Amino acid sequence: MAEIRQKIISCSQGHYYDANRYDQCPYCSAGGFSPTIDPFAAGESKPGSTVGPLIPGDVPHHAGGVQVGGFTPTIDPNQPGGLSERMGKTQYVDASTPAGTPAPVVGWLVAVEGPCRGTDYRIHTGYNYIGREAGDICIRGDSTISAQRDANVTYVPQTREFYIAHELGKNVLLVNGKPVIGGSTKLENYDRITIGTTQLVFVGLCGEQFVWGSEEPEHD
């Protein structure tokens, strides 16, 4: 069986097509097709351009993030606006909280030293990751704090206790001047936490005196 070779030529409108398959430009004949850009020509393709040759019946290809044949380029789920961002982050489910309402605050961190002095940060049930740019608690302006997951503060509703643990931060995490190494440290009201150049005071709402939900702590 003889091999059929492609003979790619360009019409007067800049469309590329196989002359061995078509006697005349199929784009001009069909009408309404956008001009193609020579993939071998110097210079970069412009967004929204069609990269040819695209012959009716052929499968469009994605080339370098350029929209091809009406198809939308694949988006990296980890980039801003990607799937992971649109889906949102996993949240702790509190049976006592009505559906569609924000999780109730269980405590706070208050910056008393550093670039964000005077700012308060809410703590919710479960893990609260601390970072400079991303996380449940964002301490913006302190370049010595990791962009994400420098440390975490955790509230355990079963025991009504708070803990803090080191994550990915380069600096040593301190609680009342003592390093948190190889595990977590239980937090008590008004403990002082040093992370980067920022010092925070911990204030707990939930505990022995108060909890969210139908069961309140028993008082003597």
Q: Give 157 or 217, the one with higher predicted confidence.
A: 157
Q: Would you say residue 196 has pLDDT above 80?
A: yes
Please give the structure tokens belonging to residue 60.
């469009």
**Average pLDDT value for residue range 103-113:** 96
On average, the pLDDT of the chain sits at 77
Tell me whether the omega of the peptide bond preceding residue 80 falls within 30 degrees of 0, making it cis.
Answer: no
Of how many residues is the chain composed? 220
Q: Where are the domains of the chain?
A: 7-73, 107-204
How far is CA 87 from its chain centroid?
9
Specify the pLDDT at position 58: 47
The CATH classification number of 107-204 equals 2.60.200.20
* Measured distance CA(172)–CA(123) in Å, rounded: 21
Q: pLDDT by residue (tens digit) across 173-183? A: 999 999 999 88
User: Is 27 strand, coil or helix?
Assistant: helix
CA 116 to chain centre: 23
Look-up of token digits 């069609």: 50
What residues contact 85, with CB distance under 8 A and at least 6 apart? Answer: none
- Position 214: which residue type? S
Q: Longest Cα pair distance anywhere in the chain, in angstroms?
A: 97
Residue 147 predicted with pLDDT over 80: yes
User: Half-sphere exposure of residue 50, counting CA atoms within 13 Å on the CB side?
Assistant: 18
Mean pLDDT of 56-73: 45
